[in-house]
Amino acid sequence: MPDAGAFSRAGPDYRLTLGAGERALLARLLAELRTLLLDPHEAAAEALARLFPVVHPDDPAREAEYQRLMRDELVASRLAGIAVVEEVLAQDGPETPGVPGVPGIPGVVLDEEQLGAFMQAVNSVRLVLGTVLDVSEDDSGADDTGALAPEYHLYAFLSWVLDSAVAVASPDLDADLDADA
């Protein structure tokens, strides 16, 4: 049920129902992603590996040519998407009216293009976090009580936000498709 997630429909647009604290958290994560994208050091490249996959795994020359032509464009695309989402998160829209005793929800509204940028940016952060956590197919029982517990919880939160966005953008999609591909 889409309305139970981080998004709901608002006519032709979409309403982000996260509170100010959660929106600030997303904005901070996106700022960190931007810093990482602009960081030339090897450690950053390792964390970003899933954002820049190899295209021609069997042809190093062709791969080098592709990366020479396209990598900067992909970085620019990601930075532009982050900027779009930051603008959305900075909205200070009116809250929807609550009922007596129940507060309203934040009124951040996105159009379809902004929602698309939102999904791409949030998924980029998930890819970096998943790489750092070395998430694997059988991580359903991963130890989320150890030293990396905050990161695992963050990863789960981002997964929930992304799945909510997909559900509201594609309401016919099977609600059971909530595992990792």
Partner 1 sequence: MTEAPDVAILDAPSVDDATAADRPWIVLVWNDPINLMSYVTFVLQKLFGYSLPEATALMLDVHYKGKAVVASDTRERAEMHVFRLHEHGLWATLEHDA
| Chain residues that interact with partner 1, rule: CB under 8 A | 50-58, 66, 70, 73-74, 77-78, 81, 116, 119-120, 123-124, 126-127, 130-131, 135-137, 139, 159, 162-163, 166-167, 169-170, 172-174, 177-181
Gap between the Cα atoms of 19 and 16, Å rounded:
9
Report d(CA 115, CA 165) in Å as an integer. Answer: 7
Closer residue to partner 1, CB minimum distance, 114 or 123: 123
CB-nearer residue toward partner 1: 95 or 112: 112
Name the token pair of 26.
């997303």
Q: Alpha-carbon distance 128 to 77, whole Å? A: 16
Residues 6+ apart with CB under 8 A from 7: 14, 15, 16, 17, 115, 164, 165, 167, 168
Q: CB of 1: closest distance to partner 1 in angstroms?
A: 14
Question: Closest CB to partner 1 among 42 and 176?
Answer: 176
- Contacts of residue 98, Cβ cutoff 8 Å, sequence gap at least 6: 104, 105
Task: Report in angstroms the alpha-carbon separations of 97 from 100, 106, 157, 174.
Answer: 9, 10, 26, 31
Burial of 154 by CB count in 10 Å (0-12 exposed, 13-18 middle, 19+ buried)? middle
- Residue 115 CB, shortest distance to partner 1, in Å, is 11
**In terms of CB distance, is 92 or 174 closer to partner 1?**
174
Cβ 172 to partner 1 shortest distance, Å:
6
Instruction: Output the smallest distance, CB 124 to partner 1, in A.
Output: 6
Burial (CB count <10 Å: 0-12, 13-18, 19+), residue 116? middle
CB of residue 11 to partner 1, shortest distance in Å: 21
For partner 1, the closer CB: 92 or 138 = 138
81 vs 106 by CB, closer to partner 1: 81
CB of 111 to partner 1, least distance (A): 15
